[in-house]
Amino acid sequence: MRITDLLRKEGIELNGVVSNKLEAITKMVELMDKTGNIKDVEKYKEGVLKREEEGTTGIGEGIAIPHAKTDAVNRAGLCAMVVKNKVDFDSLDDQPVDLIFLIAAPDSKDNVHLQVLSRLSVLLMNPDFTTGLRNAKTADEFLTIIDTAESKRAEEEEAKAMAQKAASDTITNAADKSGYHILAVTACPTGIAHTYMAAESLENKGKELGHLLKAETNGSGGDKNVLSKEEIAACDGIIIAADKKVEMARFDGKPVLTTSVSNGINKAEDLINKVVKGEVPIYHHEGGKSESAAYGEGDSAGRKIYKHLMNGVSHMLPFVVGGGILIALAFLFDNYEINPSNFGMNTPLAAFFKTIGGQAFGFMLPILAGYIAMSIAERPGLAVGVVGGILASGGYTFGNLMNYADSTPVSSGFIGALIAGFAGGYIVVLLKKMFAKLPGALEGLKPVLIYPLVGIFLIGVFMIGINPAVGAINTALNDFLASMGNTSKILMGTILGGMMAIDMGGPFNKAAYVFGTAQLTMESAGTEQFAIMAAVMIGGMVPPLAIALCTTVFKNRFTDNERKSGIVNYVMGLSFITEGAIPFAASDPLRVLPACIVGSALAGALSMVFGCGLRAPHGGIFVIAVITNPLMYLAALVIGSVVGALILAALKKPLSKQK
């Protein structure tokens, strides 16, 4: 199916005038309705807007390709609009859009919208093509430009396929090869526009530089132009321009350059030159496994450690959040006066919440350790890490295993679980290397017998050996927090609150949050630990709220789209979703970040001053009922948000022209 088969004259607007993205989409949907391709206008529009929520379809260079696949569509269709006054479309390059294509696809298995979208994405990379469309005087001329370009593209594709076949035959039949042979794999999370644009950019730049280059696309419609074994064996290097996992085992022993898909689009020449000059490291796939590997395998040691840690934290959080909030509810529904020493279990309802929440919360440390180990050593590391986390949580030592009276278990807590996770992962990595040369007939024994048996034994010996020392550190930290004076507590609240706003979901933010949740796992967790968690959460709530307030009160400092996004930040801030502030921080970090950091640090300090405490590790405004001194906590939140908003308003100048 050709692009011109889907595009009708009544679906083309060459003199569009719209003021914002929503108006542009509404106008495009109206055009689509005129073509008779949709049976439910509102449902189709809802589908287009939902797709935009997943990520902008403004692909850059003044172009946007919104689309939706839904049963509100009668038949596949396409419409187009040239926006003479240009419009902000939240594009990836932050530039306004003046050329928009809208795709409608029925909810069927043929994925026709992906086929058309990939073809459009490639054609739209040609500046002569897009210039012609922008300058078209009539709908007929617009269609002719597309038809001509698509026909030419089809001829080029056929010629390229023949050239690749000839090159492949040469590689297969020749004793040695001549010239450069570069391969590439492109992939983005959605597997649509950027995947094909990166492939096109690399192939075009390779041709321009005189190097035959073939690019495989891992798109939503499946892998296309797949690299053969012969091509991989004969090539001089491979470029992986991907932001998601691709199959890497096939490239073992070849020079492989990994980068982002956007670099594949914008820095194709640099990437190709690195391969040509031999500046690409040889890729070695661990253990010959066929699992896919993620973009970024060339990360620094520090980055790899952080990614392993975050893998553990992300899997741990559901247990922490669910269990922690249930435990907090147990205290809310209990009666302290019945039995102060049994607070949280005095009433049937409280006991119900406390028991279920406690069981869920108890998985926190084993899950953390298990998934850190799994990140390092793949699936064989999971069991080893989980067992290490259990031993850390239980505080088992050689002494208390024998029930010595003077050796009671002391949990090594969060620190011990971290050590167990990394130790368990690298123990399995070591075992893989040790048993790599086993006969093929015994290969199946590794994951089901050797790795779990030997790995669990080794992590057991290791953790039981270090638990006394780590348990002592854990206890010392607990005692230190309990002994802190008011001044020290305020300082800690200031630091933790500020850290939550430094990178909003990045390493600093996660470090503060993990530290806060770790305090809740201490067996003797009390007022000091709960105060830390309260300061951490309030520090994460302030940035979105400060930005939302600023966009509401000081409207002349923000564009129309920013003001609309600001409204959403009220909900995200109150829900403790700090990431709502990221778009603002990314577009203007020198003004947004200082304002948010000061507001969050102030809120964290005030939370400590007011003696607020939080037993739940998440929830935002929805767990206010279980926060100690809730009214003053809300006061601290308001003060921090207002101060942050005022600082941001002072740093940002009013826009010269309202957008």
For residue range 469-479, list pLDDT tens digits in order.
887 876 776 66
Q: Is the pLDDT of residue 423 over 70?
A: yes
280 and 328 both lie in a single domain: no
H helices of 174-291, where? 193-209, 229-234, 261-266, 268-276
Q: How far apart are CA 425 and CA 432, in angstroms?
A: 11
Residue with the larger pLDDT of the pair 23 and 478: 23
Q: Which of 420, 540, 410 is nearest to 478 (CA)?
A: 410
Determine how β-strand 613-614 pairs with β-strand 627-628: antiparallel
At 312, is the pLDDT very low, low, confident or very high (cuts 50, 70, 90)?
confident
Report the phi/psi class of residue 607: left, alpha or beta, with left for phi > 0 and alpha for psi in -120 to 50.
alpha
Is 235 marked active-site? no
317 and 270 both lie in a single domain: no
Q: Is the pLDDT of residue 29 over 90?
A: yes
The β-bridge partners of 77 are: 104
Residue with the larger pLDDT of the pair 267 and 424: 424
- Taking the model in full, what pTM does it have? 0.48
In this structure, the number of other CB atoms found within 10 A of the CB of residue 446 comes to: 17
Residue with the larger pLDDT of the pair 653 and 93: 653
Model pLDDT, residue 290: 39
What is the arithmetic mean of pLDDT over 206-215?
87
The pLDDT > 90 percentage for the chain reads: 26
Q: Is the pLDDT of residue 58 over 70?
A: yes
Q: Which of 67, 113, 181, 194 is catalytic?
A: 67
Q: Which two tokens stand for residue 188?
A: 């983005």
Q: How far apart are CA 540 and CA 573, in angstroms?
A: 8
In degrees rounded to 5, what are phi and psi of residue 503?
Answer: -130, 5
Model pLDDT, residue 304: 73
Q: How far apart are CA 430 and CA 453, in angstroms?
A: 14
Q: How open is the CA angle 505-511-513, to the nearest 5 degrees? A: 70
Model pLDDT, residue 296: 45
User: How many domains, the chain?
Assistant: 4
112 touches 105 (CB < 8 A): yes
542 and 517 both lie in a single domain: yes
H helices of 435-485, where? 445, 451-483
Q: Is the pLDDT of residue 373 over 70?
A: yes
Q: Is the pLDDT of residue 659 over 60?
A: no
Residue at 382: amino acid letter: L
Q: How far apart are CA 391 and CA 462, in angstroms?
A: 10
Q: Is the pLDDT of residue 303 over 70?
A: no
Q: What is the extent of the structural domain holding 23? A: 3-111+123-150
Tell me, yes or no, whether 158 lies in a domain.
Answer: no
What is the arithmetic mean of pLDDT over 60-84?
87
Model pLDDT, residue 382: 92
Model pLDDT, residue 601: 95
Q: How far apart are CA 88 and CA 22, in angstroms?
A: 10
> How far is C-alpha 457 from the chain's CA centre?
35
Tell me, yes or no, whether 94 lies in a domain.
Answer: yes
Q: How far apart are CA 463 and CA 373, in angstroms?
A: 14
For residue range 524-538, list pLDDT tens digits in order.
555 667 888 899 999
At 163, is the pLDDT very low, low, confident or very high (cuts 50, 70, 90)?
low
Q: Which two tokens stand for residue 170?
A: 């040469």
Q: Is the pLDDT of residue 184 over 90?
A: yes
560 and 636 both lie in a single domain: yes
Q: Which of 141-150, 281-290, 376-385, 597-606 has the lowest mean pLDDT?
A: 281-290
In degrees rounded to 5, what are phi and psi of residue 84?
Answer: -65, -35
491 and 457 both lie in a single domain: no
Q: Which of 187, 221, 223, 183 is nearest to 202 (CA)?
A: 183
Label residue 277 exposed, middle or buried (CB < 10 Å: 0-12, 13-18, 19+). exposed
What is the arithmetic mean of pLDDT over 283-308?
58
At 171, is the pLDDT very low, low, confident or very high (cuts 50, 70, 90)?
very low
Is 188 marked active-site? yes
What is the arithmetic mean of pLDDT over 447-461?
91
496 touches 604 (CB < 8 A): yes
For residue range 617-633, list pLDDT tens digits in order.
777 887 788 788 999 99
Model pLDDT, residue 356: 92
501 and 424 both lie in a single domain: no
The β-bridge partners of 212 are: 181
Model pLDDT, residue 109: 62
Label residue 454 exposed, middle or buried (CB < 10 Å: 0-12, 13-18, 19+). middle
Q: Which string of b and e fits 606-642 if b means at least 16 CB within 10 Å?
A: bbbebebbbbbbbbbeebeebbbeeebbbbbbeebbb
Label residue 401 exposed, middle or buried (CB < 10 Å: 0-12, 13-18, 19+). exposed
Q: How far apart are CA 487 and CA 484, in angstroms?
A: 8
55 and 198 both lie in a single domain: no
Tell me, yes or no, whether 56 lies in a domain.
Answer: yes
102 and 14 both lie in a single domain: yes
Q: Which of 355, 428, 357 is nearest to 386 (CA)?
A: 428
Report the phi/psi class of residue 347: left, alpha or beta, with left for phi > 0 and alpha for psi in -120 to 50.
beta
> How far is C-alpha 613 from the chain's CA centre?
30
374 and 415 both lie in a single domain: yes
Model pLDDT, residue 161: 62
State which of 256, 288, 320 marks the end of a domain: 288
216 and 321 both lie in a single domain: no
Most confidently modeled range among 76-90, 396-410, 435-449: 76-90
Tell me, yes or no, whether 232 lies in a domain.
Answer: yes
Its sign, for the CA torsion 539, 540, 542, 546, is: positive
Domain containing residue 99: CATH number: 3.40.930.10
What is the arithmetic mean of pLDDT over 460-475?
85
599 touches 645 (CB < 8 A): yes
The pLDDT > 70 percentage for the chain reads: 81
Q: HSE (CB half, 13 Å, CA atoms) of 282?
A: 5
Tell me, yes or no, whether 332 lies in a domain.
Answer: yes
Q: HSE (CB half, 13 Å, CA atoms) of 659?
A: 17
Residues in the chain: 659
Tell me, yes or no, whether 296 lies in a domain.
Answer: no
Q: Which two tokens stand for residue 146?
A: 């597309």
Q: Going along 485-593, which residue ranges are E strands?
A: none
Tell me, yes or no, whether 161 lies in a domain.
Answer: no
Q: How far apart are CA 30 and CA 656, in angstroms?
A: 33
Residue with the larger pLDDT of the pair 474 and 390: 390
Domain containing residue 263: CATH number: 3.40.50.2300
Q: Which of 79, 113, 188, 308 is catalytic?
A: 188
473 and 497 both lie in a single domain: no
Tell me, yes or no, whether 68 lies in a domain.
Answer: yes
Q: How far apart are CA 354 and CA 22, in angstroms?
A: 47
Model pLDDT, residue 176: 41
For residue range 479-491, list pLDDT tens digits in order.
665 565 556 788 8
Q: Which two tokens stand for residue 647?
A: 């600082």
Q: How open is the CA angle 367-368-369, to the nearest 5 degrees? A: 90
333 and 453 both lie in a single domain: yes
Model pLDDT, residue 70: 85
Its sign, for the CA torsion 82, 87, 89, 95, is: positive
